[in-house]
Chains A and B, each alone.
Chain A
Amino acid sequence: MARAMPELQLAISDFLLKLQRRQIEGSFDSAKHTVLLLRQVIVQHRASHSGQASSFIDAVKTVGARLVAASPIELAVGNVVRRVLHIIREEEVSIANNTEDEGETTFDSDDNNNSDDDGLPVLSAAVLAAANRNVLRAPSLHNLLESAVIPAVAIVSSSSAGDSEERSRSSEKNSKGWKLKHSIIEGINELLEDINNNHAQIAEQALEHIHQNEVILTLGHSRTLLQFLREAKKKRSFEVFVAEGAPRYLGHTLAKELAALNLQTTLITDSAVFAMMSRVDMVIIGAHAVMANGGVIAPTGLHMVALAARRHAVPFVVLAGMYKLCPLYPHNPYVLVNEMKSLSQILEHEESMEYIDAALNVPDLLAMNPSFDYIPPELVSLFITDMGGHNPSYIYRLVAEYYSPEDHSLE
């Protein structure tokens, strides 16, 4: 298969390299590129006739696992891979349901000998359809007692349905496969559109949250936040404190961008956050990722900001597109792997060389530059996503809606 489509392999290895070299960084860019690549994977994939959906799933999983391994800290990559897997599973079920329905009606009209087969196939087809409807549902109390019986029913019904359908199925096969692929690609396009529009969707809600003459505090830079404030500025006048976000100082960029919108902007140092907090009405930040328990992965310094906000009872609001929602719990050390950035942002190489230990030949002066903080869910007041505002304790529900539990581990 690798020989059959060299251009796809080329695209994959190119993207892998960019992820490894951190040439693609940030959850938005990496998510978007991942969707584009996975769409290419689906388009070029020639599914074998048996178990089409599963062959798509395998193809996406193999590529997905490589992408995640290339840059584990970009959680959005894994999220998007899982979203695409969920789309495939959903489309499979909806197509299976449709054909079951069509199947029943066509049997009566053009297949007379089928009626001799007694009522069993019809009954089991209905049961199968119902089972399919529930395939994507997470296990729940609701179906606890029913769970064990499905495999048996599914096997019985598929074999009995298989006999009567055999002839029609082989001819339908191609059109059905095409339909599946087509609807998967459509689903992926929708996902891509959602990712592209997420800033605008989140910004739309700005007026509900920002009121006249409020003081907003933030740290560092976030594209989502910039659009959010820009949208609010159209109707309201308010003031923004921007902490600079050492050592990358992206806060400077944001402050200039906001000032260019004629917003009253004040730049403060990171260490001044607590001192200024008593005057602040709301803290708004952009997240790197949101974990399944409602915890947030965000640039360093934000945990301290969250604690300062809690001390002064200031609402701490997190903006995050749905693609940043990660279905994993932060117990997993792989997930909490932090990215250590270049030391030169803090300490020049020459400077540290001045403090070399003569005996051991190692510098006595070291520097550390982690890029992310984990903010526990208790400190977050509200998430604003492209699907609306959510409490941290509601995040588990969104996870159940957008991901299939069997995709949580990509292996």
Chain B
Amino acid sequence: MAEQARMKAYYEHRAGHRALPDSASSAVTNEWLAQAEAALANEEPALPSNGSSSFSVIQEFNIWRSNPELAESVAAIKALTAVIRRSEAATMMGLEKELKIASDALKAWDETSISLSAGCDLFMRYVTRTSALEYEDIEAGKARLIERGERFGDISLKARKTIAMIGQDFIRDGCTILIHGFSRVVLSILKLAAANKKQFSVICTEGRPDSTGVEMAKEMVELDVPVTLIIDSAVAYTMQSVDMLLIGADGVVESGGIINMIGTYQAAMIARSMNKPVYVAAESYKFARMYPLDQKDMSPSPRNVYFQKSLPSAVQVECSARDYTPPQYLTLLFTDLGVLTPSAVSDELIQLYL
């Protein structure tokens, strides 16, 4: 009965997740063309303010990012919202241009962050798609965009709640879950499952080089969930006693594969070869328009790796901190859009960007 009530709450919650006009279908209007022309005329005076806004956008982003509850893409969208608020652009085209420069600056500031660029792309897409076509008045359009941007933090929190609700259904009594690295979404699933009195145990990997698995293990202790910490090379050794692999993601790419902390690829491969399901929990704003074909297709995101023994200087150290897991190793993705198969990801991305 409680299960059903929860399900109901979840679906009602999803029903609340509804859409407004599909403006992609509406045609280019005369006002829009007029605005485009005006923007071209304004190009010269707009430039100086761009320089200052691209400078402040990174500061703004860092302020938002220091909040531990906020995901990186949320911080990016908040920072872009601040750009809109400060903007003096008189036309939608002008505003768009300023935003484009700001978002490019943000993306260039940390090229390795997939969720950052996914967040920027999502917001930019929203700006170009809705505002210019729908609002003749620039002030109304701006207000609407600012309001949307401000609310994005709530949307993100809501997304995490939805995912927790979907994900916890997959956690059965008596199961053992292997977790690689720290993920806020995975944690929220486990929190909800523990709150619903499900009896399960967790195995955390150490998660070198950042040792994020240790953080996860600490959280598990707080939830009173039995937890075992293993070194990253013990994944295959423990896989036999594991019922499922549950991981978060930095980014979900168009193939349906994921980019995540290093070691995810091998953990997923081992799980797959032992026929254990691999579940990924990720908010939909982490869906990124990328199509990596192999590990070298992404810009590396190096981290310092410490070894206990001192190394001769001739030894090279591989220090990339993340890898790409192809979709064939993933079973299902838990997202705020529902439970998706990896092939459904490209479908969502095409709907948005086509």
Q: Say whether A and B bind each other.
A: yes
Chain A residues in contact with chain B, CB under 8 A?
127, 130-131, 133-135, 137-151, 153, 292-294, 329, 331-333, 393-394, 396-397, 405-409, 411
Q: Are B7 and A408 in contact (CB under 8 A)?
A: yes
| A217–B321 CA distance with the chains assembled, in angstroms | 50
* CB proximity of B136 to chain A, nearest CB, Å: 11
Contact residues in B for A394 (Cβ distance below 8 Å): 343
Partner of B122 from A145, A293, A406 at Cβ < 8 Å = A145
Residue of A127, A133, A147 ringed by the most chain B CB atoms within 10 A: A147
| A148–B159 CA distance with the chains assembled, in angstroms | 12
Q: Mark B333-354, 1 if CB is under 8 A from A, else 0.
A: 0001111111110011101100
Q: Are A406 and B11 in contact (CB under 8 A)?
A: yes
Contact sample, A vs B, 10 pairs, CB 8 Å cutoff: A137-B18, A139-B19, A139-B337, A140-B351, A142-B348, A147-B16, A148-B155, A153-B20, A396-B340, A409-B4
Which chain A residue shows the least CB distance to B169?
A: A331
Interface 9-mer from B50-58, B83-91, B146-154, B223-231: B146-154
* CB proximity of B3 to chain A, nearest CB, Å: 9
Q: Are B332 and A293 in contact (CB under 8 A)?
A: yes
B44 within 8 A of A: no
| A331–B167 CA distance with the chains assembled, in angstroms | 10
Contact residues in A for B303 (Cβ distance below 8 Å): none
Q: Are A141 and B154 in contact (CB under 8 A)?
A: no
Partner of A150 from B18, B336, B342, B347 at Cβ < 8 Å = B18
Which chain A residue shows the least CB distance to B283?
A: A144
With A139-B336, A397-B344 known, 19 other A-B pairs at CB within 8 A are A134-B18, A137-B19, A139-B14, A140-B352, A145-B122, A145-B126, A147-B20, A147-B155, A149-B147, A150-B19, A294-B341, A329-B339, A331-B169, A396-B341, A396-B344, A397-B347, A406-B12, A407-B11, A409-B4
| A405–B342 CA distance with the chains assembled, in angstroms | 19
| A382–B152 CA distance with the chains assembled, in angstroms | 41
Q: Are A331 and B170 in contact (CB under 8 A)?
A: yes
* CB proximity of A356 to chain B, nearest CB, Å: 34
| A393–B337 CA distance with the chains assembled, in angstroms | 17
Q: Are B20 and A134 in contact (CB under 8 A)?
A: yes
Q: Are B20 and A393 in contact (CB under 8 A)?
A: no
Contact residues in B for A333 (Cβ distance below 8 Å): 172
Which chain B residue shows the least CB distance to A393?
A: B343
Which chain B residue shows the least CB distance to A134?
A: B19
| A158–B228 CA distance with the chains assembled, in angstroms | 56
| A393–B256 CA distance with the chains assembled, in angstroms | 12
| A150–B336 CA distance with the chains assembled, in angstroms | 18
B22 within 8 A of A: yes
Question: For the complex, would chain A's binding face be called helix, strand, loop or mixed by DSSP majority?
Answer: helix
Partner of A145 from B123, B170, B337, B343 at Cβ < 8 Å = B123
* CB proximity of B157 to chain A, nearest CB, Å: 11
Q: Mark B7-29, 1 if CB is under 8 A from A, else 0.
A: 11011101111111110000000
| A139–B348 CA distance with the chains assembled, in angstroms | 10
| A308–B332 CA distance with the chains assembled, in angstroms | 25
Contact residues in B for A153 (Cβ distance below 8 Å): 20
Q: Are B17 and A411 in contact (CB under 8 A)?
A: no
Q: Are B123 and A138 in contact (CB under 8 A)?
A: no
* CB proximity of B74 to chain A, nearest CB, Å: 12
Contact residues in A for B341 (Cβ distance below 8 Å): 293-294, 393, 396
| A408–B8 CA distance with the chains assembled, in angstroms | 9
Contact residues in B for A292 (Cβ distance below 8 Å): 339
Which chain A residue shows the least CB distance to B348?
A: A141
Q: Are B338 and A138 in contact (CB under 8 A)?
A: yes
Contact residues in A for B340 (Cβ distance below 8 Å): 396
Which chain A residue shows the least CB distance to B285?
A: A144
Q: Are A141 and B122 in contact (CB under 8 A)?
A: yes
B284 within 8 A of A: yes
Which chain A residue shows the least CB distance to B342?
A: A393
Partner of A141 from B152, B169, B284 at Cβ < 8 Å = B284
Q: Are A411 and B285 in contact (CB under 8 A)?
A: no
Contact residues in A for B21 (Cβ distance below 8 Å): 127, 130-131, 133-134, 146
Question: Given A331-B170, A406-B14, A409-B4, are A143 and B19 also a contact pair (CB < 8 Å)?
Answer: yes
Residue of A135, A144, A407 ringed by the most chain B CB atoms within 10 A: A144
* CB proximity of A300 to chain B, nearest CB, Å: 20
Which chain B residue shows the least CB distance to A143?
A: B19
| A142–B347 CA distance with the chains assembled, in angstroms | 11
Which chain B residue shows the least CB distance to A131?
A: B20
Which chain B residues in 268-310 approach chain A with CB under 8 Å? 284-285, 287
Which chain B residue shows the least CB distance to A130?
A: B21
Which chain B residues in 110-149 approach chain A with CB under 8 Å? 122-123, 126, 130, 147-148
Q: Are A142 and B344 in contact (CB under 8 A)?
A: no
Question: Given A332-B169, A394-B343, are A131 and B18 also a contact pair (CB < 8 Å)?
Answer: yes
> Nearest 9 A-B pairs (CB), nearest first?
A143-B19, A130-B21, A409-B7, A139-B17, A134-B19, A393-B343, A146-B20, A406-B15, A411-B4
| A133–B23 CA distance with the chains assembled, in angstroms | 12
Contact residues in B for A396 (Cβ distance below 8 Å): 340-341, 343-344
Partner of A131 from B19, B154, B344, B352 at Cβ < 8 Å = B19
Contact residues in A for B170 (Cβ distance below 8 Å): 329, 331
Contact residues in B for A150 (Cβ distance below 8 Å): 18-20
Which chain B residue shows the least CB distance to A292?
A: B339
| A53–B309 CA distance with the chains assembled, in angstroms | 72
Contact residues in A for B14 (Cβ distance below 8 Å): 139, 405-406
Contact residues in B for A139 (Cβ distance below 8 Å): 14, 17-19, 336-338
Contact residues in B for A131 (Cβ distance below 8 Å): 18-21
| A92–B233 CA distance with the chains assembled, in angstroms | 57
Question: Given A393-B341, A393-B343, A396-B340, are A145 and B152 also a contact pair (CB < 8 Å)?
Answer: yes
* CB proximity of A77 to chain B, nearest CB, Å: 17
| A66–B337 CA distance with the chains assembled, in angstroms | 29
* CB proximity of A257 to chain B, nearest CB, Å: 37
Q: Mark B66-99, 1 if CB is under 8 A from A, else 0.
A: 0000000000000000000000000000000000
Q: Are A140 and B337 in contact (CB under 8 A)?
A: yes
Contact residues in A for B172 (Cβ distance below 8 Å): 331, 333
Q: Are A148 and B126 in contact (CB under 8 A)?
A: no
Which chain A residue shows the least CB distance to B327?
A: A393
| A411–B18 CA distance with the chains assembled, in angstroms | 21
| A11–B186 CA distance with the chains assembled, in angstroms | 48
Q: Are A141 and B19 in contact (CB under 8 A)?
A: no
* CB proximity of B327 to chain A, nearest CB, Å: 9
Question: Given A405-B14, A406-B11, A409-B4, are A143 and B336 also a contact pair (CB < 8 Å)?
Answer: no
* CB proximity of A129 to chain B, nearest CB, Å: 9
Residue of A135, A143, A332 ringed by the most chain B CB atoms within 10 A: A143
